[in-house]
């Protein structure tokens, strides 16, 4: 049978959709969203199937979601401007994640990858090179790991740790790109939009609580100690307790 796996998978997903549609209709979950959407988050995250929007909210209409490999801004800047400018979400989150295949690939030989995959990863490669040079200047990865490991019970390898550093740097880079965009920068300057850089951790690097989100960047500031005393954040214990990062520039 041609396309056997595809047909079996489609049947499975349509059966799931039958149950989903029945539940949504029964509980009227679309009733207040029929004419317009009013999300409160514009989310840029990785296409990795392990990173789910429901880690932030599973209600319909709450998250304006944009996905691509490596949670990159430039391929989707128009969509981001739509979410923050037209839909007026007060929060824009760039969400990287531990165990990111795009980061791993960007640090590997990608000459045999498909053309468009290679093009997508090329923008991350300079960031990876810069972090490798930074760690060299700081004395090497082994010593750096000993000083900067939020979860002491983590059994992360040096390579996985390095890739997590690059993941953080990539998130920082995406925030910088956003702040170079005039419409978005003006929203931040006027206090109408907050940009958060964050990491979704399911590999126990930041915490043993898999699926937790940790804040590493707020409006371009990456120094966690400074962020914890910012006026609009310092009294919010839930936020400050989630501020953790490995990479120190």
Alpha-carbon torsion (20, 22, 26, 28), positive or negative: positive
Say how far residue 237 (Cα) sits from the centre of its chain: 22
Bridge partners for 95 per DSSP: 45, 198
For 37-240, the fitting CATH number among 3.40.1050.10, 3.40.50.11540, 3.40.50.1240, 3.30.1200.10 is 3.40.1050.10
Bridge partners for 46 per DSSP: 68
C-alpha span between 119 and 107 (Å, rounded):
14
User: Is residue 113's pLDDT more than 80?
Assistant: no
Comparing CA positions, the residue from 96, 109, 67, 121 lying closest to residue 174 is 96
- Residue 32 is predicted with a pLDDT of 93
C-alpha span between 168 and 162 (Å, rounded):
10
**Lowest mean per-residue pLDDT among 84-88, 165-169, 233-237:** 233-237
Domain residue spans of the chain:
1-35, 37-240
Q: Rounded to the nearest 10 degrees, what angle do helices 125-137 and 158-179 cross at?
A: 120
- Indicate the SS3 state at residue 23: helix
Q: With DSSP H G I counted as helix, E B as strand and the rest as coil, what are the percentages for the chain, rounded to 5? A: 45, 15, 40
Which whole number is the average pLDDT over 25-52?
Answer: 96
**Lowest mean per-residue pLDDT among 23-37, 71-85, 106-120:** 106-120
C-alpha span between 41 and 67 (Å, rounded):
14
The mean of the pLDDT values for the chain is: 94
C-alpha span between 38 and 5 (Å, rounded):
38
- In the structure, what pLDDT confidence band is assigned to residue 48 with cuts at 50, 70 and 90? very high
pTM (two decimals):
0.94
Question: How many Cα atoms occupy the beta-carbon half-sphere of 1 within 13 Å?
Answer: 6
- Residue 63 is predicted with a pLDDT of 98
C-alpha span between 70 and 16 (Å, rounded):
29
User: Is residue 154's pLDDT more than 90?
Assistant: no
176-203 pLDDT tens trace: 999 999 999 999 999 999 999 999 999 9
Which whole number is the average pLDDT over 227-248?
Answer: 92
Most confident region among 109-118, 176-185, 233-242 by mean pLDDT: 176-185
User: Is residue 110's pLDDT more than 80?
Assistant: no
C-alpha span between 92 and 65 (Å, rounded):
10
Which whole number is the average pLDDT over 217-227?
Answer: 95
Is 55 annotated among the ligand-binding residues? no
User: Is residue 7's pLDDT more than 90?
Assistant: yes
Of residues 120 and 17, more confidence is placed in: 17
Is 97 annotated among the ligand-binding residues? yes
Pick left, alpha or beta for residue 68 (phi over 0 → left; psi -120 to 50 → alpha; otherwise beta): beta
């Amino acid at each position: 049978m041609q396309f056997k796996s595809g047909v079996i998978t489609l049947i499975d997903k349509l059966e799931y959709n039958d149950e989903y549609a029945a539940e949504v209709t029964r509980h009227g979950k679309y009733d207040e969203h029929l004419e317009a959407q009013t999300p409160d988050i514009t989310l840029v995250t990785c296409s990795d199937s392990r990173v789910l929007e429901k880690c932030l909210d599973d209600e319909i209409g709450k998250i304006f979601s944009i996905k691509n490999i490596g949670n990159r801004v430039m391929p989707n800047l128009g969509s981001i401007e739509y979410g923050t400018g037209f839909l007026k979400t007060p929060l824009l989150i760039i969400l990287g994640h531990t165990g990111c295949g795009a980061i791993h690939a960007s640090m590997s030989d990608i000459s045999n990858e498909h053309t468009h995959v290679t093009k997508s990863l090329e923008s991350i490669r300079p960031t990876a090179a810069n972090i490798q040079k930074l760690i060299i200047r700081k004395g090497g990865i082994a010593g750096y790991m000993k000083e900067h490991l939020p979860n002491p019970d983590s059994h992360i390898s040096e390579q996985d740790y390095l890739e997590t550093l690059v993941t953080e740097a990539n998130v920082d880079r995406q925030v910088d790109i956003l702040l170079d965009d005039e419409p978005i920068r003006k929203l931040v300057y006027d206090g109408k939009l907050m940009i958060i850089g964050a990491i979704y951790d399911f590999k126990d690097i930041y915490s043993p609580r898999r699926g937790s989100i940790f804040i590493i960047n707020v409006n371009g500031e990456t120094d966690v100690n400074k962020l914890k005393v910012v006026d609009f954040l310092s009294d919010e214990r839930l936020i400050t307790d989630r501020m953790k990062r490995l990479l120190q520039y």
